[in-house]
Each structure stands twice: as structure tokens, then as C-alpha cells.
Structure 1
Amino acid sequence: MISEDQLKTWGKQGSTGQFTATHDTLKTWLNDSNSPFCTKDFSIFLQGSYKNDTNIYGDSDVDVVIQLNQTFYPDLSILTDEEEQLWKAAHSDAEYTLKQFKNDVTSWLVKKYGSDVQTGTKAICIKGNGNRRNADVLVCCKHRRYERFRSLNDQSCQDGISFFNSSGVRIDNFPKQHRDNCAKKHRHSNNWFKHTARIYKNLRNTMIEKNVIEDNLAPSYFIEGLLWNVPLDRFGGTEQQNLFDTLDWLWNADRSKFVCANDLCSLFHPTSLVTWRAEKCKKFLSKAIGYWEAA
């Protein structure tokens, strides 16, 4: 078994000093009044491990979101035909598009960071330099998943974000719901949830370093979603008991019913860009159990 001391170390939050400096500098630049998008309605916020307080010592990337608030993409799939027609009659196409916004943000970042700026699959990547950490800037607009629409004064929707990957495919996600639900789970688990998420991430990284699993088998977002499905009574006790009880429950559970921590999407799907693959999760859990038993 993995020792009690090792698990306790793995459960500690990583340092945030360089992260804070990188984030503050980047946010100041994006809010500069000379930017080509300064007159637009936008907001800047964090997402990922640093925002969710589940960062570990091996984390290096700072995940920053810049969201265009005056433009949004809708999901009308569960509205009735009548509601969809009412929605279309009440809305018009945006004058300033997400594509324009991303082009403006990219050019502004290049002006400051030069060749350290590269366009990634989903985000704009800024290479670290000196005390500056690597940063991923996700350019998005609002997303609204409608549950009801009768008029602008009588509607219900879930607010999320929409962005496009490098292949031009739109991706919708709900980071605020993920963050809020993880925070609630942490409180209700007597502060064990985030501690446990950091242990699982460190266990994953150790297995990657020792070539037990391949990189990208278990992204941090999905590890948090996986653990969000674990019942509260499985968290706690000694460090070893906590890991054993959560792993044991996850391995024996009907994982096909798991949902993402945002509680709006299934955790597993064979093709969706915002869900995990069931076979990857099974492999990760199998390897984690094997590593635990052999340690």
C-alpha cells in the first residue's frame, strides 16, 4: 500500500506564488484600455485546478478564460417547436462575433508576448518565461441551454460557455456549475473531496512518470468529475482508508450512470468532446488499484 505519509503529502495543495503573478500580469494586459476589444462587454476569470483549489505541485499551466458577454450561442434542443419559434422571433444575430473577438485577443497577446504565443487545439497558449508560468487563454462567449422560453421576461436556462476548437467544432461547457458543485461536495465531505482529488492527480502523475499509464489517460477535469460521483460516506478516515474506500467504490459502481461535476452532462460518452471515454476511466482505475496493491 502507499504509505500514510505519502498520501498526506499528495493531498496538499501546490504553491500559488508564480501562478498568482502570471495571472495578475495577464489579466492586467487583457484589461488594458488600448486593446482592440476594450469597448466590448467581456469578463475574465480562472478555471481549472487553480480556480478549484485542486492544484498539485506538478501543475504548471494557468487556465484563464476571457468571455465575450454580449454574444452567446444557444441550445434549443429541449424547447418545444412553439418555444423555439418564439425564441427566434425575440433574437437577432450578433454584430460582434466570437471569431472576431478571438482574433482581437490573439493579436493583442502577440503584441505583448510575441513568439511565445501559439494557437492550441482549444486555447491560446503562452509559453512560460523566467518566473512566468505557462498560460492557456480560452476565448469564449456565453452559452445558454434553454429549459423554457415564452418571452424575454419568461424564460429559464443554464448559463455556460461556448468556444470553437481548431477544427471549427463548437464546444459547450459549464465551468461555474462544476466549480460550485465541487465546492459544495468539499464542504459536505468534511473537506475531504479536494484533498482526495489532489491525491488521485498525484497518483496519476506518478504512474505516468513510471510508464504505468500514458499521458492524457485521466485529465484532471475528469478525475474531479469521477470523484464527485462518490458518496459522501466513502470519504474520510485515515489517508489509506480514504483512498481504498473511494477506489473500491468507483471500481464496483455502475459508472454508466455517472454525471460530470456540473451535473448537466454524462461523464462518459463515446464521441462527445466534453466527456470521458468509459474504457479510459476503467483502465485508469485498474492501474491505480494495481499500483496501490503493489506499492
Structure 2
Amino acid sequence: MSFSENQLDTWSSQGSVTQSAATYQTVSNVLNDKDSPFWLKSFDTFLQGSYGNDTNIYADSDVDIVIRLTSIYYSDISDLPPLDKANYELSRSSAEYTLPKFKDEVTSWLTQKFGPGVKAGSKAIFIPGNGSRRDADVLPCAEHRHFLTFPANGGVKYYEGIVFWAKDGTKIVNYPKQHSANCTLKHQNTNTYFKRTVRIFKNMRNRMIDEGRLAGGVAPSYFIEGLLFNVPNQLFGSTYWKTVNNCIEYVSRADTSQFRCANGIHWLLRDGHPVCWSLQNFQTFMSALKKFWA
């Protein structure tokens, strides 16, 4: 299918941000209300997803909001040598407040403030929108630390992220702040082409779904951002058509087994991992994309 530069330019445009910003502010104000049952706990709130990363298109709807408990943290010490693991164990103390308790209190508080339409899903809490507010998904989670070193006399190093458990018991660790920071740096280093190119790919994915070329859910926006994050910076720029063509050609010939998610920590393509794109879905997306683009 032939795509004009004007069509790609239209697809590169960012969707509305005014209503999403207002939605985040409204929900954030409720979460940070001093009358909430979790007010005395330490936590932070921030946007993630397409609106948080400025890759939203006009078809995007839900605003993704993270509320991260920082009074406690969960950890991964699998990469520590034995001595550092011993140092870590000596430093640990038990915590009475837990993530499940935090999630229950956040759900109850949001229901009290936004009504019975609030529903706790497998991962996030859904808040229905109204005339001035978009639908929102609030993800209660806790701080996660993947320790790299733990010497006895300071100098501890770790990746700081988030952790939560889905309803089926699946543990999910991710790094949304690193993802966002890396996408912004990539955008700057590609003469502001990266995020615009992500939007083009998202619009092409949506068009393929509408035309029955691709099933929904095969290519989430998060993985599209991760895929394009691995394309060398010099392949972005000049024109949108050339940029998209360069990206498709590069991914088609690259060793994609070495691609990382945009957070720079997780592998992008692995089977059996909740934060990785399955090989089958990736291959299905690329096959449909190349036929759509040709």
C-alpha cells in the first residue's frame, strides 16, 4: 500500500493532551488527599503509558496512572554475590504494612470519591470518565529494587522500579521511569523523530486492526515503543516515509533476540515473560506490517 508523506505526517501528530492532563490532575489530587486512609504512608504518583510518554494518538483513550508505595520496597538479590547477599539480609527489617493492604485502601478510596463505577481489574483499578474526564486506570504498586551491589559500608547500587501482582498471582516488575527517560533521550537524539514515528506505527497498527489484517492485542503500544527504541538513531529523519521504511528494513534484518525494552533492562522479545513481547505476536505483527507497507 502506498502512503503519502502527508498521510504519515497526519499519523505522526500527537493526540489531545488537555483532557488527559486534566484527568491526571483530578485523579492525582484524590490520591494525594490528606483524608485518604493511606495518607500517612510514603508514596508517589505519576503518569505512564502513551500519555506519560507523549506518544498518544487521537484513538488513545485511557489515562494510565501509577501510585507507587515507597514506605516499603520489594527486592531482587539474584545478581548479588554471596557476601553482598549476607549484607542485604542483615539490613532487612520486617514491615507491617503490605502492598495488598495498600491496594485495598486505594480501591476503597477511589470508589468513595468516584462512585460505584470504579472496578479493580487484574492489574489496575478502572475509573470511568465523565464529560470532562477521560477513563483512567490506576495501578497500585510498590517500589522494587533489583540490587547490583550491597557492600557493608555503603555504595549500594540497584535498578529502581515498580512491582505488583496480577490477580492470577503473576509477579510483574517494570521500570516505567527509565522507559520514559530513555524514550525522551531517544526523541532528542533523533531530531524529534522518534516519538512521531511511534505514533505513525501505532496508527498503522490501528488501521491494520480495522481492516482485519491484525488481531487486537498483538502489538501493544509499549512494545512498539520498545521495538523502535532499538533502531539506530541515524535511521530516523529526512522524511517520514524514509524513516518508516528504514525502521521496517532494519528490524527485518537485525538480530532481534538482542533487542531490549525501552527501559534498557528487560529483553524485548522472550516467551513466557509478562513484560516481554512473545515471539509469535512479534512475528505476526511484522508480517502484517510488511504486507501493509509494501
TM-score bin (small chain): over 0.9
Q: Distance in 1 between matches of 2:42 and 2:18?
A: 30
2:59 aligns with: 58
Alignment-mate amino acid for residue 273 of structure 1: P
2:247 aligns with: 246
Q: CA RMSD in A?
A: 1.1
Q: 1:144 offset after TM fit, Å? A: 0.3
Q: 1:152 offset after TM fit, Å? A: 6.6
Give the gaps of 5 or more residues in structure 1: none
Provide Cα deviations, 1:163-217, integer angstroms capped at 9, x if missing partner: 1111122211111111111111111111110010000001001111111101110
Contact 1:47–1:64, Cα closer than 8 Å, also in 2: yes
1:98 aligns with: 99
2:88 aligns with: 87
Q: 1:125 offset after TM fit, Å? A: 0.9
1:268 aligns with: 269
The answer to whether residue 284 in structure 2 is matched with residue 289 in structure 1 is no
Q: Distance in 2 between matches of 1:207 and 1:120?
A: 28
Q: Which moved more, 1:106-115 or 1:150-159?
A: 150-159
Q: Distance in 2 between matches of 1:101 and 1:26?
A: 17
2:79 is paired with a residue whose SS is: coil
2:163 aligns with: 162
1:171 is paired with a residue whose SS is: strand
Q: 1:130 offset after TM fit, Å? A: 2.2
Alignment-mate amino acid for residue 172 of structure 2: I
TM-score, normalised via structure 2 length:
0.97
Alignment-mate amino acid for residue 51 of structure 1: G
2:204 is paired with a residue whose SS is: helix
1:212 aligns with: 213
2:141 aligns with: 140
Q: Distance in 1 between matches of 2:134 and 2:234?
A: 38
Q: 1:110 offset after TM fit, Å? A: 0.6
TM-score, normalised via structure 1 length:
0.97
Q: 1:129 offset after TM fit, Å? A: 2.2
Q: 1:292 offset after TM fit, Å? A: 1.4
Counting only pairs closer than 5 Å after superposition, residues 111-190 of structure 1 correspond to structure 2 as 111-151=112-152, 153-190=154-191
Contact 1:162–1:170, Cα closer than 8 Å, also in 2: yes
Give the gaps of 5 or more residues in structure 2: none
Q: Distance in 2 between matches of 1:8 and 1:191?
A: 13
Contact 1:90–1:151, Cα closer than 8 Å, also in 2: no
Alignment-mate amino acid for residue 3 of structure 1: S
